[in-house]
Amino acid sequence: MGPGPYERHRELLQQAVRAIATGGYCAPFTHAGHGAADAGMRSTRTAGKVFGSLLGRAFELDQPGELGRVSTESSPYGIAMDIGYPRCDPAALVAEAGRATAGWRAAGPYRRAWLAVEILRRLNTRSHELALAVHHTTGQSLQAAFRAAGPRAQDRALEAVAHAFAESARVPADLSWESTRHRRQPLAMRGTCTLVPRGVSLLIGCPDYPLWNGYPGLFASLVTGNPVIVAPHPRAVLPLAITVRVIRQVLAEAGHAPDIVSLAVAEPEQRLHRRLALDPAVRIVDFTGSARFADWLEQHAHQAAVFANRTGLNAVVVDSTEDYRGLVRGLAHSLCLCSGTVRTTPQNILVPAAGITTDEGRKSLRDFGADLSEAVDRLLGHPARVARLLGAIVGDEVRAGLAQATRYGPVVHASAALRHPDHPGADVRSPLLVRLGARDERVYAREWPGPVSFLVSTESTSHSLALLRGTVGRHGALFAAVHSTDPLVLAAAETAALDAGVHLVQNLADDLPADPSSASADLPAAGAHFVTGRFRVVRSRRHVPAAGTAVVEPERSPVPDGGSAASLVDV
Q: Which residues in the 70-109 window bind a copy of itself by CB under 8 A?
A: 102, 105
Closest separation in Å from C-beta 474 to a copy of itself: 10
The span of 108-116, 192-200, 240-248, 423-431 binding a copy of itself (CB under 8 A) equals: 192-200
**Contact call for residue 33 and a copy of itself (CB under 8 A):** no
Closest CA to 400 of 345, 448, 447: 448
Q: Which of 268, 538, 560, 563 binds a copy of itself (CB under 8 A)?
A: 538
Cβ distance 355 to 368 under 8 Å?
yes
The span of 191-199, 247-255, 285-293, 313-321 binding a copy of itself (CB under 8 A) equals: 191-199
Show Cβ contacts of residue 329 under 8 Å, excluding neighbours closer than 6 positions. 375, 379, 509, 510
**Contact call for residue 249 and a copy of itself (CB under 8 A):** no
Q: What is the DSSP-derived secondary structure letter of residue 85?
A: E
CB atoms within 10 A of CB 246: 20
> How far, in Å, CA of 31 to CA of 13, rounded?
16
Closest separation in Å from C-beta 346 to a copy of itself: 15
**C-alpha dihedral (9, 515, 141, 342), degrees to nearest 10:** 120
Q: Which of 23, 40, 424, 548 binds a copy of itself (CB under 8 A)?
A: 23
The span of 10-18, 51-59, 72-80, 179-187 binding a copy of itself (CB under 8 A) equals: 179-187
Q: Which is nearer to a copy of itself, 39 or 551 (CB)?
A: 551
**Contact call for residue 326 and a copy of itself (CB under 8 A):** no
Q: At what angle do helices 210-223 and 90-125 cross, to 10 degrees?
A: 110
Closest separation in Å from C-beta 430 to a copy of itself: 21
Closest separation in Å from C-beta 482 to a copy of itself: 9
Size of the chain in residues: 571
Q: How many helices (H) and strands (E) does the chain have?
A: 20, 19
Closest separation in Å from C-beta 516 to a copy of itself: 5
**C-alpha dihedral (467, 473, 476, 477), degrees to nearest 10:** 50
Cβ distance 175 to 190 under 8 Å?
yes
Q: Which of 253, 541, 560, 567 binds a copy of itself (CB under 8 A)?
A: 541
Q: Which of 397, 498, 560, 567 binds a copy of itself (CB under 8 A)?
A: 498
Side chain identity, residue 101: T
**Contact call for residue 537 and a copy of itself (CB under 8 A):** yes
Q: Which is nearer to a copy of itself, 25 or 77 (CB)?
A: 25
DSSP string, 373-421: HHHHHHHTTSHHHHHHHT-----HHHHHHHHHHGGGS-EEE---EE--S
Q: Residues in contact with a copy of itself, total (CB under 8 A)?
A: 78
**Contact call for residue 548 and a copy of itself (CB under 8 A):** no
The binding track of 508-527 with respect to a copy of itself, each residue x by CB under 8 A or -, is x-xxxxxxxx---x---xxx
Q: Which is nearer to a copy of itself, 51 or 479 (CB)?
A: 479
> How far, in Å, CA of 339 to CA of 451, rounded?
5
Return the H-helix or E-strand segment holding 134.
Answer: helix 127-138
Closest separation in Å from C-beta 510 to a copy of itself: 6
**Contact call for residue 34 and a copy of itself (CB under 8 A):** no
List b or e across 88-123, with b for residues whose CB sees 16 or more CB atoms inside 10 angstroms: bebebbbbbbbebbeebbebbbbbbbbbbbbbbbbb
Q: Which of 27, 247, 497, 519 binds a copy of itself (CB under 8 A)?
A: 497
For the segment 264-303, give every residue that binds a copy of itself (CB under 8 A): 295, 298-299, 302
Q: How open is the CA angle 424-425-431, to the nearest 5 degrees?
A: 85
Closest separation in Å from C-beta 155 to a copy of itself: 14
Q: Which of 184, 488, 548, 562 binds a copy of itself (CB under 8 A)?
A: 488
End-to-end alpha carbon distance in the chain: 27
Closest separation in Å from C-beta 395 to a copy of itself: 28
Q: Which is nearer to a copy of itself, 23 or 361 (CB)?
A: 23
Closest separation in Å from C-beta 5 to a copy of itself: 27
Cβ distance 447 to 392 under 8 Å?
no
Q: Which is nearer to a copy of itself, 50 or 526 (CB)?
A: 526
Closest separation in Å from C-beta 383 to a copy of itself: 21
Closest CA to 474 of 340, 315, 361, 357: 315
For the segment 205-224, give every residue that binds a copy of itself (CB under 8 A): none
Closest separation in Å from C-beta 327 to a copy of itself: 12
- In 271-372 the beta strands, taken as DSSP E runs, fall at 282-289, 305-310, 315-318, 348-352
The span of 118-126, 351-359, 396-404, 501-509 binding a copy of itself (CB under 8 A) equals: 501-509
Closest separation in Å from C-beta 422 to a copy of itself: 24
Backbone Cα Rg of the chain: 25
The binding track of 112-151 with respect to a copy of itself, each residue x by CB under 8 A or -, is ----------------------------------------
- Region of 348 please: left (phi>0), alpha (psi -120 to 50) or beta: beta
